């Protein structure tokens, strides 16, 4: 057996700039990737609140 033999030749198609997969579209980008690229980036996660309880502030009338 020839170890350099490839059963399928490497793709000569252009690669999508978003997902890096071969593109069969004339535009050079998948339609779903173009939509994803056009959308504004989504925040990955909201900032978590600090787990500490709020600091005790001035108390009511009993603190006087």
Q: What is the pLDDT of residue 19?
A: 92
pLDDT-derived band of residue 25, with 50, 70 and 90 as boundaries? Answer: confident
Q: Tell me the percentage of the chain whose pLDDT exceeds 70.
A: 56
Q: Identify the CA nearest to 34 among candidates 19, 44, 47, 13.
A: 19
Q: Taking the domains of the chain in order of start, what are their residue ranges? A: 12-39
Give CA 41 to chain center in angstroms: 8
- pLDDT of 24 higher than 60: yes
For 8, half-sphere exposure in the C-beta direction (CA atoms, 13 angstrom radius) is: 3
* Residue 7, token pair as written in the block: 């059963």
Predicted TM-score (pTM) of this structure? 0.46
């Amino acid at each position: 057996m020839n170890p350099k033999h490839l059963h399928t030749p490497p793709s000569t198609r252009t690669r999508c700039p978003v997902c890096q997969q071969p593109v069969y579209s004339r535009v050079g980008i998948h339609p779903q990737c173009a939509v994803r690229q056009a959308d504004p980036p989504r925040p990955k996660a909201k900032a978590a609140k600090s787990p500490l309880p709020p600091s005790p502030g001035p108390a009511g009338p009993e603190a006087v």
